[in-house]
Amino acid sequence: MTELVSYEPATGEELWRGVPGDVDAIVARARKAWPQWAAKPLATRIELLRRFTNEVRKDLELFAQTIARETGKPMWEARTEVESVIAKVEISVRAYGERTGQKKLDAGIQGTAAVRHKPHGVMAVLGPYNFPAHLPNGHMIPALIAGNAVILKPSEKTPATGEMLVNLLNRAGLPEGVVQLLIGGPDEGKAIVAHPGIDGVLFTGSAQVGIAINRKLATEPGKIVALEMGGNNPLVVWDTPLVSDAATLIVQSAFTTAGQRCTAARRLIVKASMYDAVIAEVKKLVDRIIVGAPFDEPQPFMGPVIDNATADQLTESFVYLLSNGGRPITHLRRPRQGLPFLTPGIIDITAMAQRPDVELFGPLLQVIKVDDFDQAIAEANNTRFGLAASLVGGTPEQYNRFWANVRAGIVNWNRPTNGASSAAPFGGTGFSGNHRPAAYYAADYCAYPVASTEMEQPRASVGVGFKA
């Protein structure tokens, strides 16, 4: 059996290795464990997940180091990710109570009308590599609270983090079989999605894979499918005297996590009269960015991208944009030979006749100059994606127009495109999702509503159409 190996992006050294899991055996264990887990009182499930947060706190530094080593992100950001894992439990408890609360209505002689929620069963969670703990955890915790069993298939690029996440849940005392790890690559991913013992698929990743999952399950309406995909996200800069602040928001939006966030700004749309001042400030700030390894001192702002293949693809994309009418503002460079470190790349594509509508998942920002606000909104909507959009500057009236007309599930004003709150819904339209937002609204796809009319004793009568 071929082993799966995880390498540290910042060093190229081997971090972890293991063999792919047995999909049938894992699903069978989950199906066996699920009924008892679903039958436990909600308070018991919540208490066990609160114990999980205590286990994470005990190993916070080790968990953060594992994430940093496996993704290449700086330690400050890895620690923030672990804190998000901890915070997710209480947020999910509140969300479950609010989104799936029980209701009972007295219907008089008709008895009682009730609404309660049931778990779906066994859920497959397919996680990404950019936030290998926080994002799958964002599916898993709401699913477990609701009473589902969960099988996590982490990205084949970050299996060590996925393994640690599942181990911490098991250490907290969740019953055997309720939370399991499936190690593997695309073949195991396809197998778990298509498995008849799976009742739901909760996916975070690229639009290409999400659409393939959607297509595969199109004839299986009984499976709940939640797709959290990428974005070709616009950030519009309009009139503001605070050019330095605008530049900071642009850099935060485009280059945090080396641009490896689904909410990262991919397209900067700038009013022509603001262009020179804004670009000059952005360039000054970008020149100060420290690109380095997770444990470097001083801490870097950006680590590497996930692997050399990704760095090569981004470099090729930059060259393609240059060759088709793009004008370089800052060049995308590989500062360390043989390792996937990249410096931020910024390219003006205003003159390009055909702009590719793809998610370039890394530190590459495309700039478009526009003359009026209607043109800015049209450019913002010039994409099949619809995850995040921000307006920086402008008036309250312009923000109202922007909010009303831009197609996105997250719309911000004078804030970055990224850094979404877990206490709000998270999702998008078009190629960004299938109208099942995650974060606070994850409870919606982790349980289904059941309507009941109930009486303690049978009581019925017949009326029209019966002989005396």
Helical pair 134-146 and 42-58, crossing angle rounded to 10 deg: 150
Cβ atoms 149, 177 nearer than 8 A: yes
List strand residue ranges (DSSP E) for 48-133, in order: 103-106, 112-119, 122-126
Considering all CA atoms of the chain, what is the largest pairwise distance in Å, rounded to the nearest integer?
Answer: 94
List strand residue ranges (DSSP E) for 137-263, in order: 149-153, 179-181, 200-204, 224-228, 233-237
Query: Whole-angstrom Cα distance, residue 167 to residue 144?
Result: 15
- Residue found by looking up tokens 């490896």 in the block: 260
CB atoms within 10 A of CB 372: 10
Active-site choice (163, 228, 281, 359): 228
163 an active-site residue? no
446 an active-site residue? no
Sign of CA dihedral 421, 426, 429, 431: positive
Cβ atoms 199, 109 nearer than 8 A: no
Active-site choice (8, 156, 163, 262): 262
Prior bond of 159 cis (ω within 30°): no
Active site (catalytic) residues: 228, 262
